[in-house]
Amino acid sequence: MMKTKKNIHGIVGLLILVIAEILMFRGIEPFASWFYYLAWWPYILIVDSLIYKLKENSLIMNRKGEFLLMLFWSVFIWTFFEAVNLIMNNWYYINVVPTRVVRWLGYGVAYATVLPGLFETTELLESWGLFKNSSVKPISVNRPLIASFLVLGTGCLLGVFFSPKYCFPLIWGGLIFLLEPINYQWGGKSVLRDWEKGNLRKLYLLLLAGFICGFLWEFWNFWASTKWIYTVPFFEEFKMYEMPVLGFLGFPPFTVECYVVYNFISLFRYQRGWEEDTYRLNQEKRVKFSLCLASSLVVIVFCLATFNAIDKKTVNSYFSTLRDLQAINPEGAASLASLGISTPTELLTEVGNEKKRKELALKLKVSESEIIRWMSSAELAELKGMGTLNANLFHKTGIENIPNLAKQDPAVLYEKLLALKKNDPHSEGILIPREAIIRVWVKEAQRRIND
């Protein structure tokens, strides 16, 4: 009789998640900045532990090799979507770690959670018996249907690349139509084959898992310090957390898309996959070392090149310090640092009321009006993760506080910043934020004033 393995990783994950939640809400670093990692990795541990408890077979406990391989391909697959976002400009990152090595390592560790999060959730729902008795009318998978899928998938991708403003939603499903026929014809795991048998249970499980993970992604992202913010065309008005409400409809097909892409990758491993019924397939066959090496190098080079492009285009602000804020002179920043106040957040906490402002002014031997000016600049830098570099740009245009920003027209302000860069001999390397990002800041400033 097989001895049951110790199943404690779920408890460890739960403890980490609870502690991280508490410390994140208190603004304690690194829990505030690294909260995404401290939420998603524990979630994966918890879900895997529940799966093992239900059927004594889970990815981490019984299919470790598949789990580790999944992390590698998860980084690649999500990096592909990051590369597409360089064209779509649907989201950007704020309050990112300034050190490149740490930042890039963070990209990899974060992106590695995507597939495990989706697929572990899918397997948990399956272990609970959801949709167990579901059935649909079988379809006939023939050449016209295959051809239609291929044409539709190709059209979706071409639409995204040539007209991203209008076709951006197609990226969250286009690969399904492009790769699913290949999976079917080459004998891999296939939703089309399931449909041919009148059984779409896996599709239903994936769709539900996508909705659950999508909600958790946006919920946990909303409270984190380092996070992403959306600038989706036509859908900026109505948001739940940071996500446009209709954007939640993209998570279910995205999950199916990830499943299809991963099944396509499994074709090159003789149909071996992450699921319980496929991870032992064709074990006598081995993928050539040269193919493994070549594909690994291609993936690594692609990911590193994309990480570099993300830094240049998708990252909008880095972790802010007062010494980088031009509205505060170097002597003032040094004096504040001597009191343990080195970030805009710490300054705003320290001057939370008039009494504290007076006490700080007395300690630093500056006027209270100077403290108020510093506080206004810090508030601006903290607004929706604007950061010190962007706050400095606004400072050069005469915008020194949130009320000033709230009065601006985003389009006009964007043109001012472009003119500023053009006329400033020291502006080389300065990245002017997109008009859509400026619009996010202006709307947030107006909301703060109205509140």
pLDDT of residue 422: 83
- Does one domain contain both 412 and 430? yes
Question: Is there a single domain that holds both residue 286 and residue 339?
Answer: no
Residue 270 lies in a domain: yes
355 in the same domain as 287: no
Domain that holds residue 365: 322-450
User: Domain check: are 302 and 178 in the same one?
Assistant: yes
Specify if 388 maps to a domain. yes
What is the DSSP-derived secondary structure letter of residue 2?
A: P
Domain end (from 313, 339, 372): 313
Shared domain for 292 and 374, answered yes or no, is no
Contact status, residue 99 vs residue 25, Cβ threshold 8 Å: no
* Residue that finishes a domain, picked among 294, 313, 332: 313
**Residue 108 lies inside a defined structural domain of this protein:** yes
Same domain, 82 and 182: yes
Does 105 lie in the same domain as 236? yes
- Torsion sign over Cα 353, 396, 100, 254: positive
Q: Is there a single domain that holds both residue 235 and residue 346?
A: no
Q: Is residue 30, in this structure, part of any structural domain at all?
A: no
How do 91-94 and 227-230 pair as beta strands? antiparallel
Q: What is the pLDDT of residues 246-285, one digit of tens each?
A: 889 999 999 999 999 999 999 999 999 999 999 999 989 9
pTM over 0.85: yes
pLDDT at 430: 75
For residues 136 and 399, what is the distance between their CA atoms, to the nearest angstrom? 60
372 and 303 in a common domain:
no
Query: What gap in Å lies between CA 356 and CA 363, rounded to an integer?
Result: 11
Q: Which parts of the chain sit beneath pLDDT 70?
A: 1-4, 425-429
Task: Please state, in angstroms and rounded to a whole number, the distance separating the CA atoms of residues 372 and 383.
Answer: 16
* Lookup result for tokens 């090159």: 268
Q: State the DSSP string of 130-147.
A: TTTT---------HHHHH
Burial of 63 (0-12, 13-18, 19+ CB in 10 A): buried
Q: 188 and 278, same structural domain?
A: yes
Query: In terms of domains, do 294 and 328 share one?
Result: no
Same domain, yes or no, for 91 and 136? yes
> Where do we find the tokens 């740490």?
102
Q: Is residue 13 part of a domain?
A: no
Grouping H, G, I as helix, E, B as strand and the rest as coil, residue 446 is helix
Assigned domain for 213 exists: yes
Q: Residue 42: what pLDDT? A: 97
Which of 250, 280, 313 is at the close of a domain? 313
The structural domain count of the chain equals: 2
